[in-house]
Amino acid sequence: MTTVGFVRHGVTAWNKQGRAQGSTDIPLDEEGIQMAVHAAERFAADNWDAIYTSPWQRAKRTAELIGQEMTHAEVIEDRRLRERAGGLIEGTTEADRLAKWGPKWKQLDLQGETHESVITRGMSFIEEMQERYPDGRVLAVSHGGFIKRLLTELLPGTTYEEPLGNTSLTIVKIGEHENLCELFNCTDHLQQLKS
C-alpha cells in the first residue's frame, strides 16, 4: 500500500489578499517560509521516501525547506502537481470577480483548466507513485485547489468544505480497491507560530 502525504505550500502575499493564484508563480512571503520551516521539523520525524513538488516556487520552496530536514529523501519536481490554471480569474479577488462578472461568475467559462484535466494528471501521478513505491511513503507538495480536487477522486463520496491550511498535511493510503484518509488538513506544527 502506497502512502501519499499531501502538503499545501506555505502562505503567500496573494493568499493573504484573497487573490486567485492558479498558474501565476507567486513566492512564499516571510511567514510562509517560517511555516515551511515548522512543517519541515515535524515531517522530519516521520519516515518519507521522497518529496515530490509542483514547479511553482511557492510549493517548490516549501518542498526544499522540508528536504533540508529530511536529507535522506530526494526533492523531485513534477509538473503534474501544479495548481489548476485559473484563466481570467488569476490575480483577482472575490470582490473583483463579482464586480467584473457578477454573482454567477463560477458558471462562466473564464478559460481555467478543466476539472477533468486536473484529475487526469493527478491520477497519473498517483498511479506512478503506486508503481515506484508499492509499500512506500511519499510527500507531494502542491496547492489547495489541486489537492482538494484529487481528494474527491481518491475518496469518493467525501466532501471537504473547509479550506486546506497552508503547510497542512493530509495523508491518504492508496489501496488496491479502496483508499483511506488517515489524516486531514493537519497544521499542528504551526501552533508555535500562533502563540
- How long, in residues, is the chain? 195
Active site residue 9: yes
- Asked if 151 contacts 160 with a C-beta cutoff of 8 angstroms, the reply is yes
Which runs of consecutive H residues, i.e. helices, occur in 72-169?
94-101, 115-132, 144-154
23 CB burial (10 A radius; 0-12, 13-18, 19+): middle
DSSP bridge partners of 186: 169
- Helices 144-154 and 115-132 pack at an angle, to 10 degrees, of 70
Among 9, 38, 143, 189, the one annotated catalytic: 9
Amino acid at 191: Q
Catalytic residue among 38, 83, 143, 189: 83
Instruction: Check if 189 is active-site.
Output: no
Q: At residue 21, what is the residue type? A: Q
Residue 109 burial (CB count, 10 A) = 8
Q: Are 81 and 149 in contact (CB under 8 A)?
A: no
Q: Is 165 helix (H, G, I), strand (E, B) or coil?
A: coil
Active site amino acids? 9, 83
